Structure 1
Amino acid sequence: MARSWLITGTSSGFGRALTEELLDRGDRVAATVRDLAAMDELKRKYGSQLWVATLDVTDADAISQVVGAAFYALGRIDVVVNNAGYGLAGAAEELTDAQIRHQVDTNLIGSINVVRAALPYLREQGGGRVLQLSSMGGQMAFPGLSLYHATKWGIEGFIEATAQDVGPFGIEFTIVEPGSARTNFGGSSMAAGKPLPVYDATPVGELRRAATSGAFPTPGDPRKMAQAMIDSVYCRPAPRRLALGSDAYAMIRETLTGRIAELDAQRAVALSTDFDVEGSSTLVGSSRTQEMVDA
């Protein structure tokens, strides 16, 4: 059965791969781009099967208007793919205030606002699915990508909580965590701060050299990853996370395993900071809790 999709950031990368695959399958797509000309070829080929609008996800008012127009045009949208975003490379002190603000406004606040705009329509129609594009960088971190990771870790926390908020309405979320793929992420979809020589001999410099020399591995096939995202929509219940790529699996697993080991090593300290089960501290704790409730 044909489905209807809303996908942000469809001019290239995963957004483009998803759009092309879905249209070829016979699904309908509401696609947003920064430049309408990027969709001319697909529009000529697929006609009314493809609805296109311009959208800058840093514009909250535009998000509300475009999302509403997409639901109106398609009648129902089964899946929202929150894909628009880009990377910002550089050590924290190499980045300007404007670069930091734009990264957060695009990847984090923009993604949050797309979800917020879609939720009333998804509730009204009785449910739906949201695929939130994150990254393996939403679970682990590379040197020189601190602001990018801040946005990806942030959006994952937002989705974790929001999924619980709206689960009773039949709205499900999947956080997609691709590894390095052969898209334009390292090209036109990557901005960078002004390198400081002091970082040349640090992990930041090493990663920079690997990226510019082509030594940084990119094992992921965007088409296969797009297909896996589409397949996930047919899973019930929705997988909360979807790691894609051998590097994503290996690095996320290594990071989580190490984090669990560190947590377990702190168990005694963590438990020691609770109020005592018996004694005056329990009474103080109860009194304090009551004061907070009364306040």
Structure 2
Amino acid sequence: MTTLNIPPEKVWLVTGCATGFGRAIAETLLSAGYRVAVGSLSTSEVADIVDEYPETALAVELDVTNSEMVTAAVASAEEKFGSIDVLVNNAGFGFVGAIEEGEREEFAPMIEVNLYGTLNMIKAVLPGMRRRSRGHIMNISSVGGFHASAAFGMYSVSKFGVEAISESLSVEVAPLGIKVTAVEPGQLRTNFRGSSMHYAKKVIADYAETCGKTRSFIAETHGTQPGDPKKAAAVLIEIAESPNPPFRLPLGSDAYSRVRAKLAAVEEDIAQFEKQAISINYEGVVTESRV
């Protein structure tokens, strides 16, 4: 785990702290001396954390899809600690099923939490960050938010959306002193593949060799994932304290491999018809990249 010789001055708000990565982030921060607003659907789920750190931890009841609860949680954190310097949008869950298998009513709640919940939290903390001319928003995306795979299509819809929001936001708020990082974890050893994973009820036999293998892989590897959430949490601290944090942060050797593989595949794919693709402008028209 990374050892940091820095004063823990920043105030953090972390969502989804009842279990998994969110809990690991909160506990790692508090053990390092940071002040943390610990978000969960019920404060009873994080009572043990607050009991251990009564001076520096604040439990906030938080359903990220409920705008009133979001506003109240941000207000409580700012009232107690004076500011929110780092927001970690971690609350979320997964969904497995082929595009044809999943029904809207099955995956819509996931999109509501993963995507719209993230947006709700961002909009709630930005006024304070703009007033203070500082802040860092860390949106927990996924390697699946950069590289979609069989059976994770709808989950990737939610996480690709998080990446799009993050990318636009990073440009919008950079002049205001606010930083944005899209965190792309790979396989962390949490309960994400357990109770945090939802499945399409319909199973179509024709997808056995693609989505069926994904379902089997999830079941067979749950509890043996290579990524240590506590080590991942320590990296987030290092990123938050960096004067030049990255926008995109793959977390885990598997995530890094998948990101690099996707980049190589995209380059190979678009190169095939590059001549045709760039030939469609009217004569004499020159365009410039906005990146």
Same fold (TM over 0.5): yes
**In structure 2, what residue type is equivalent to 1:236?**
P
SS of corresponding position for 1:91? coil
Partner of 1:117: 124
Alignment deviations for residues 159-178 of structure 1 (CA, whole Å, 9 cap, x no partner): 10011111111000111111
Distance 1:51 1:214 in 2: 35
Q: 2:268 aligns with which of 261, 267, 270?
A: 261
Partner of 1:157: 164
Partner of 2:75: 68
Asked if structure 1 preserves the Cα contact closer than 8 Å seen for 2:93 and 2:196, the reply is yes
How far is the alpha carbon of 1:72 from its aligned partner? 2.1
How far is the alpha carbon of 1:189 from its aligned partner? 1.0
Asked if structure 1 preserves the Cα contact closer than 8 Å seen for 2:14 and 2:26, the reply is yes
Partner of 2:137: 130
Deviation larger for 191-200 or 218-227: 191-200
Partner of 1:33: 40
Distance 1:171 1:216 in 2: 37
Alignment deviations for residues 109-157 of structure 1 (CA, whole Å, 9 cap, x no partner): 1101111111111001121111110111111012101111011111101
**In structure 1, what residue type is equivalent to 2:132?**
Q
SS of corresponding position for 2:53? helix
Partner of 1:53: 60
Distance 2:202 2:226 in 1: 27
Q: 1:204 aligns with which of 203, 211, 217?
A: 211
SS of corresponding position for 1:224? helix
Greater helix percent: which structure? 1
Alignment deviations for residues 15-64 of structure 1 (CA, whole Å, 9 cap, x no partner): 10111111111110001101211212111111131111111111123212
Unaligned residue ranges in structure 2 (runs of 5+): 1-6, 287-291
Aligned-residue identity in percent: 35
SS of corresponding position for 1:103? helix
Asked if structure 1 preserves the Cα contact closer than 8 Å seen for 2:101 and 2:204, the reply is no
Q: Does 1:6 align with 2:13?
A: yes
| Cα RMSD, aligned residues only | 1.7
Asked if structure 1 preserves the Cα contact closer than 8 Å seen for 2:16 and 2:40, the reply is yes
Asked if structure 1 preserves the Cα contact closer than 8 Å seen for 2:181 and 2:245, the reply is yes
Distance 2:278 2:220 in 1: 49
Distance 2:175 2:12 in 1: 22
Asked if structure 2 preserves the Cα contact closer than 8 Å seen for 1:143 and 1:204, the reply is yes
Asked if structure 2 preserves the Cα contact closer than 8 Å seen for 1:129 and 1:233, the reply is yes
Deviation larger for 233-242 or 144-153: 233-242
How far is the alpha carbon of 1:108 from its aligned partner? 0.6
SS of corresponding position for 2:244? coil
**In structure 1, what residue type is equivalent to 2:201?**
K
Distance 2:269 2:204 in 1: 34
Change (3 A) 1:203 1:217: farther
TM-score of the superposed pair, with normalisation by structure 1: 0.90
**In structure 2, what residue type is equivalent to 1:12?**
T
Distance 2:15 2:208 in 1: 38
**In structure 1, what residue type is equivalent to 2:264?**
T
SS of corresponding position for 1:181? coil
